[in-house]
Amino acid sequence: MKQIVVACGSGVATSQTVASKVNRLLKENNIPAEVLAVDIKSVDRYIPSSVAYIAITKVDKEYPIPVINGIAFLTGVGQDAEFKKLVDAVNNG
Amino acid sequence: MSILQDVINWLLSLGAAIFVPIIIIIAGLIVGMKIKDAVSAGITLGVAFTGMSMLISFMSEAIGPAAEAMLKSTGINLPIVDGGWTTLSAIAWSWPYAFLMFPLMIGINIIMLIINKTKTFNADLWNVWGKIFTGVAVAAVCQPYFGTAGSIAVAFVTAAVQIVFELKMADMYQYRIEKLSGIPGVTCTHKMGFTSIFMFPIDCLLKKIPALNKRFDAAVLKDKIGIFAESHVLGFILGIIFGILARYGVAETLTLGIQASCSLTLFPVISKYFMMALEPISTAISAFMNKKFDDRTLVVGLDWPFMGGANEIWLAVFLCIPVTLICSMILPGNEILPFAGIVNNAIAVAAFLVTGGNILRMCILVIIFAPAYLWVGTVMAPFISDLARSTGAVSLKAGELISCSSIDGPIQTYAFSHLFKFLDGNFFPLALCVIFVVCFIALYRYLGREEKEGREIN
């Protein structure tokens, strides 16, 4: 099972909403990965063990793994494209 | 009819961990979830309530004696346990009328969109609990004036007014939020922003001081001190401080440090189960709304974390931690020992919005407004504890009080919920409501001009 990480202010509300939604999409598409919701203050600790980072904020830092736009999963706008990027990251990760 | 009443009363008597899951299963089936998914969500919610209750008992047993010892050693009396926002939300969801807030919020949003009074579609269905919480406070305050049925009616009317203000606030800040966050098409509907309304007149004064308009890069500082705000480290530090103030020995102090760290680390872990249980319903509602307004470009209202890329917010949050701790010790009228609610994102986001991300003015506003969070947390403690006790959402010992040291939008929540105190001759909440409305209109106009002129934010 590959790990994907998503972060928000406390690792509870917004990030878990995205995590639950993406986990459901992954399950429906039979993709062997799981999304973990974490506190944004601790996100760097989870990057090395993850294959992708779903960011809810605008990211200007460089990460060694693909960064996916998490806002798309909250608003539904551009969700399919972001999910496809995520699936590619899982397959390549 | 009386049989139905008896059945409902019996279900309520079983406690929040039973009756709220039953409500969510029914709600899930109404929005078209499969039976197995709805049942799974219901059980998850029961787990969330039971887990929170366990954790709060653990936390009170660790912190409570330290608070008592602190009273003896320093004379500072802070008997109210700070459970943070996650505890408040659990207690709010256990209000028997809580789920009726969903149709109210969605209904008002749809009407406002149809009559073109807002451009925001609020997709932040998790924070419906903020409306529930205001309702809980209103119902408790109004009970002596209007009786049970009357006070619940007033609670929903007050919540409706809050929902309208949230949408208008989301509209007015959308341009500024897009400029600051760099993310188009979204805004923030969270009531934590209401504090910025009260900050606005003070910020106007601060802006006149040229030295405060300087900008500097907050990123470096944030990376350096960020580790101290991670739940496990912060919990440990707080536990050690409490242990020292309580004149504990080294072994006891270290144990308290780890227990406090454990509490702060586990709060988000357990609170996640609330989200897991509620996510399918909120997704179903969002999908329904999206379909309904497919032909219009709407701004989507979200919870605040999408703005969390701004280092200024985190610096203000970090500054607020020692400020809150010191205030709690010296502020007359405060009875909360800040703990699980001490990471106050609410105050930082409000200051961020009103100043447009000016870190110096944000810091001053945080220091000025931090006491409001402690006072309102103290005032709200009795009804929060009563509701927790009556619904069994949290198991509290006799006389034990629980609250939160960072209630979102505390001044507005206090003003709205205590408005009818004027019937007893207390006009203070009414005056705050008037200030709120006047400042809201002034800020609305100010931000309207900013958007019209396409000004850069600095």
* A83 contacts in chain B (CB < 8 Å): none
* B126 contacts in chain A (CB < 8 Å): 13-14, 17
Highest mean pLDDT among A41-45, B37-41, B190-194, B297-301: B190-194
pLDDT digits (tens, 9 = 90+) for B284-321: 888 888 788 877 878 999 999 999 888 899 999 999 99
> What does the block give as tokens for B41?
């969500």
Chain-centroid distance of CA A26 in Å reads 11
pLDDT at residue B458, as a whole number: 61
| Contact at CB, B280 and A57, closer than 8 angstroms | no
pLDDT digits (tens, 9 = 90+) for B117-136: 999 999 998 899 999 999 99
* A14 contacts in chain B (CB < 8 Å): 126, 302-303, 305-306
pLDDT at residue B216, as a whole number: 72
| Contact at CB, B272 and A74, closer than 8 angstroms | no
Q: What are phi and psi of B81, to 5 degrees?
A: -80, 135
Give me the residues of B, 394-453, that contact A with CB < 8 A: none
The residue among B21, B150, B162, B22 whose CA lies nearest residue B104 is: B162
> What does the block give as tokens for A87?
């699936």
The residue among A13, A32, A15, A34 whose CA lies nearest residue A23 is: A34
**According to the CATH classification, is domain A2-92 in 3.40.50.1820?**
no
Q: What is the mean pLDDT of chain A?
A: 93
Mean pLDDT of B225-239: 89
The residue among A92, A42, A10 whose CA lies nearest residue B275 is: A10
**pLDDT band (50, 70, 90) for residue B200:** very high
CA angle B414–B415–B421, rounded 5-degree value: 100
Amino acid at B331: L
pLDDT digits (tens, 9 = 90+) for B368-411: 999 999 999 999 999 999 999 999 888 888 889 999 999 999 99
The residue among B405, B427, B443, B384 whose CA lies nearest residue B196 is: B443
pLDDT digits (tens, 9 = 90+) for A53-93: 999 998 888 999 999 999 999 988 899 999 999 999 999 98
Q: How far apart are CA B298 and CA B31, in angstroms?
A: 23
Instruction: Please name the residues in contact with B96: beta carbons below 8 A apart, sequence gap of 6 or more.
Output: B12, B19, B391
Q: Which of B182, B272, B306 sits opposite A56 (nearest CB)?
A: B306
| Contact at CB, A57 and B345, closer than 8 angstroms | no
> What does the block give as tokens for A65?
């793994």
Half-sphere exposure of residue B293: CA atoms within 13 angstroms, side-chain side: 24
* A74 contacts in chain B (CB < 8 Å): 123, 186, 300, 302, 306
pLDDT at residue B206, as a whole number: 96
Mean pLDDT of B450-455: 93
Q: How far is A37 from chain B (nearest CA, A)?
A: 8
Q: What is the mean pLDDT of chain B?
A: 93
Beta bridge partners of B337: B81
Find tokens 């990480």 and name the residue.
A5
Q: Where are the domains of chain A?
A: 2-92
Q: What predicted TM-score, i.e. pTM, was given to this entire model?
A: 0.92
Q: What distances in angstroms separate CA A85 from CA A5, A68, B363, one per listed residue?
A: 14, 7, 39
Give me the interface pTM, i.e. the ipTM.
0.87
pLDDT digits (tens, 9 = 90+) for B93-110: 999 999 999 999 999 999
Long-range contacts of B39-47 (CB under 8 A, 24+ apart): B41/B276, B41/B277, B41/B278, B41/B280, B41/B281, B42/B277, B44/B273, B44/B276, B44/B277, B45/B20, B45/B21, B45/B273, B45/B274, B45/B277, B45/B278, B46/B17, B46/B18, B46/B20, B46/B21, B47/B273
